[in-house]
């Protein structure tokens, strides 16, 4: 697949394609029905980075549920919300949160065998209506 | 510096969205990439927070990109309204019409949207391999069943059907797209359709309407919940379906602008700001086609009401305009612009 521009995915910067696909194959073989997911922080996201960003996720977990996991690991204030999207190889998609990880992996998985998900938070989503 | 859209434009834009028949595929592979740069001058520049104009809309109209929104406009109110609230469920009260909008384009609606309760399931996490920041964390959810994640997928498939305004008749029990979805959901040729049917019966449903809020220049969303029996939810029963972060803060019970009852409303005071933020994230600072406004708005709502699976939109893809440095880099390496796929 043709790639244009600079690689901005830090995981891809750190590991070359061969290493990534070998690792992804190993995980897929070892954990059937579970999928390797790399969670990235959106470029404009002001939250501190997650301490862990490599997840082995049960295929039937929905994106909404996985979003909760990211949420709980990012120490968000109650008023902050996050949303998760796919941003990979210059492509961008916001999947339905009801989709299972298995489906996302099939639809949006990278050639290297990982599914890359990016999160972003927004204070305004959860803003109280004090200014009404 | 907020993203506002003008009233007439909003309505015209919604008409546009609804008239597009082809559904958007939810897979990268079968999607036509959208090259934003091609028609840049006609598009809304989100980063400069321009308002929408009719020019933008006619440009969008001729665009082949289609959206799949299972929303429809309200119906024309019946003149012989006898004051029965149910008679107005699909049309709004004649006396509450806004004169500057056509009678059958007062607001958008979708009905009988299933609500999947947000259960507090225990999440299990453990580090299975490695240490430090290269460790793999295995996650799973306790007591997960297949039933819940089967249904939304069926919905996704069935909502791809185009909205045909001719399908709407003037009876109260209008066979809206959503009705069909749910009768459809119960008879799908699925292995466990029995279980699925059972789940549908036990679910609350919501009617959703969206109207244009003139004060905040954004869409405003109203929801009304019904128990599995079909009776409207009473008192504060709705609160459990909204995230605790929002219930009674951004989300409150108020008089509906077109209908006789109190509905749950998401206050729009932060919509413009949140939309700008979200569109900036989506477009990464580049211009974004105005046709995405409602799709992104609906995605944004999902954050506030995760349990109500109204997601009328499929996943969608944007191929961003390249910034000037990337253009140069691409030219230098001989790569065609935006050859991401």
Taking only the tens place, the pLDDT of each residue in B278-326 is 777 777 766 666 666 777 777 777 777 777 776 555 555 665 544 555 5
Percent of chain A predicted with pLDDT > 70: 83
Distance CA B50, CA A17 (A): 42
Sheet holding B123-129, edge to edge: B123-129, B136-141, A54-58, A34-41, A115-122, A81-88, A91-93, B317-319
Q: Would A130 be classed as within a structural domain?
A: no
Report, as an integer, the average pLDDT of B156-169.
41
A38 contacts in B (CB within 8 Å)? none
Residue B116, SS3 per DSSP? coil
Sheet holding B218-226, edge to edge: B72-73, B108-115, B204-213, B218-226, B262-266, B251-255
**Model confidence at B245, in pLDDT bands (50, 70, 90)?**
low
Helix extents (H) in chain A: 10-14, 17-30, 63-73, 101-108
Q: Which two tokens stand for residue A4?
A: 């244009």
**Range ranked top by mean pLDDT from A59-63, B112-116, B335-339:** A59-63
pLDDT reading at B203 higher than 60: yes
- pLDDT for the residue B4: 56
Q: Would A131 be classed as within a structural domain?
A: no
Residue B183 is inside which H or E element, if any? helix B177-187
**Model confidence at B145, in pLDDT bands (50, 70, 90)?**
very low
Asked if the C-beta of B66 comes within 8 angstroms of chain A's C-beta atoms, the answer is: no
Report, as an integer, the average pLDDT of A99-115.
92
A61 contacts in B (CB within 8 Å)? 139-141, 144
- pLDDT for the residue A37: 96
Q: Would A44 be classed as within a structural domain?
A: yes
Q: Would A5 be classed as within a structural domain?
A: no
Distance CA B243, CA B247 (A): 6
- pLDDT for the residue B87: 58
* φ/ψ (deg, to 5) at B336: -65, 150
Which residue on chain A is closest to B152 by alpha carbon? A98
What does pLDDT average to over chain B? 60
Q: Would A126 be classed as within a structural domain?
A: no
Q: Would A3 be classed as within a structural domain?
A: no
Better pLDDT: B66 or B228: B228
Number of domains present in the structure of chain A: 1
- pLDDT tens track for B15-45: 444 433 333 322 222 223 332 222 222 223 3
Better pLDDT: B122 or A126: B122
Q: Cβ–Cβ of A129/B252 closer than 8 Å? A: yes
CATH label of the domain that carries residue A82: 3.10.20.90
* Residue A31 half-sphere exposure toward CB, CA atoms < 13 A: 20
pLDDT reading at B135 higher than 70: yes
pTM of the model: 0.62
Asked if the C-beta of B318 comes within 8 angstroms of chain A's C-beta atoms, the answer is: yes
Distance CA B321, CA B327 (A): 9
**Model confidence at B162, in pLDDT bands (50, 70, 90)?**
very low
Pairing of strands A115-122, A34-41: parallel
Residue-number span of the structural domain to which A35 is assigned: 10-121
Residue corresponding to tokens 């969670």: A39
Residue A39, SS3 per DSSP? strand
Better pLDDT: B158 or A125: A125
- pLDDT tens track for B67-98: 445 666 777 766 544 445 555 677 778 777 77
How many angstroms separate the CA of residue B304 from the nearest CA in chain A?
A: 7
Query: With a CB-CB cutoff of 8 Å, which residues 9-38 of chain B face chain A?
Result: 26-28, 33
Contact at 8 Å (CB) between A98 and A63?
yes
How many angstroms separate the CA of residue A17 from the nearest CA in chain B?
A: 16
Q: Would A63 be classed as within a structural domain?
A: yes
User: Which domains are present in chain B?
Assistant: 88-118+201-304 (3.30.1460)
Q: Find all residues with CB under 8 Å of B88, minimum gap 6, and list them.
A: B77, B81, B259, B260
- Supply the DSSP symbol for B192: T
Q: Helices A63-73 and A101-108 meet at what angle, rounded to 10?
A: 100
Query: With a CB-CB cutoff of 8 Å, which residues 23-62 of chain A face chain B?
Result: 27, 31, 34, 36, 42-44, 51-58, 60-62
- pLDDT for the residue B123: 67
ipTM above 0.95, yes or no: no
Residue B141, SS3 per DSSP? strand
- pLDDT for the residue B132: 73
Q: Could you give the residue numbers annotated as active site of B?
A: 269
pLDDT reading at B236 higher than 90: no
Better pLDDT: B329 or B123: B123
A65 contacts in B (CB within 8 Å)? 121, 123, 141
Query: With a CB-CB cutoff of 8 Å, which residues 174-233 of chain B face chain A?
Result: none
Q: Which two tokens stand for residue B41?
A: 């001058």
Report, as an integer, the average pLDDT of B213-230.
85
Report, as an integer, the average pLDDT of B222-228.
91
| CB count in 10 Å sphere of residue A2 | 10
Helix extents (H) in B270-323: 271-283, 292-304
Q: Would A129 be classed as within a structural domain?
A: no
């Amino acid at each position: 697949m043709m790639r244009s521009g600079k690689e901005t995915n830090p995981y891809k910067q750190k590991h070359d394609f061969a290493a990534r696909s070998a690792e992804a194959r190993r995980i897929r073989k070892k954990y059937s029905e579970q999928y390797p997911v790399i969670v990235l922080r959106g470029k404009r996201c002001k939250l501190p980075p997650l301490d862990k960003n490599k997840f082995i996720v049960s295929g039937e977990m929905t994106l909404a549920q996985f979003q909760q996991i990211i949420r709980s690991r990012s120490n968000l204030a109650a008023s902050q919300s996050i949303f998760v999207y796919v941003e990979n190889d210059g492509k961008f998609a916001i999947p339905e949160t009801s989709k299972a990880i298995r489906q996302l992996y099939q639809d949006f998985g990278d050639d290297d065998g990982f599914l890359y998900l990016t999160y972003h938070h927004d204070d305004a989503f959860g803003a109280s209506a004090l200014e009404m | 510096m907020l993203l506002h859209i003008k009233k007439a434009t909003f309505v015209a834009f919604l008409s546009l969205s609804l008239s597009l028949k082809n559904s958007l595929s939810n897979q990268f592979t079968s999607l036509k990439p959208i090259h934003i740069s091609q028609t840049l001058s006609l598009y809304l520049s989100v980063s400069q927070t321009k308002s929408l104009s009719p020019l933008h809309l006619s440009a969008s109209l001729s665009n082949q990109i289609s959206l799949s929104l299972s929303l429809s406009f309200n119906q024309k109110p019946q003149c012989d309204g006898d004051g029965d609230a149910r008679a107005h469920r699909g049309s709004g009260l004649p006396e509450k019409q806004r004169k500057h909008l056509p009678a059958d384009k007062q607001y958008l609606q979708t009905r009988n949207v299933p609500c999947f309760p947000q259960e507090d399931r225990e999440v299990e996490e453990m580090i299975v391999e490695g240490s430090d920041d290269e460790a793999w964390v295995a996650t799973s959810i306790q007591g997960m069943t297949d039933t819940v994640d089967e249904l939304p997928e069926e919905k996704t498939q069935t909502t791809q059907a185009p909205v045909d305004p001719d399908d709407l008749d003037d009876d109260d029990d209008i066979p809206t797209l959503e009705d069909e979805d749910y009768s459809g959901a119960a008879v799908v040729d699925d292995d466990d359709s029995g279980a699925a049917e059972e789940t549908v019966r036990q679910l609350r449903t919501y009617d959703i309407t969206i109207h244009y809020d003139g004060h905040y220049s954004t869409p405003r969303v109203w929801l009304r919940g019904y128990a599995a029996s079909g009776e409207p939810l009473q008192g504060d029963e709705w609160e459990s379906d909204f995230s605790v972060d929002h219930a009674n803060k951004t989300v409150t019970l108020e008089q509906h602008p077109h209908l006789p009852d109190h509905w749950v409303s998401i206050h729009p005071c932060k919509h413009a700001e949140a939309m700008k933020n979200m569109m900036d994230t989506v477009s990464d600072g580049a211009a974004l086609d105005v046709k995405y406004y409602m799709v992104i708005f609906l995605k944004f709502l999902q954050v506030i009401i995760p349990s109500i699976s109204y997601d009328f939109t499929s996943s969608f893809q944007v191929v961003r305009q390249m910034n000037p440095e990337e253009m140069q880099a691409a030219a230098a390496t001989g790569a065609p612009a935006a050859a991401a796929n």
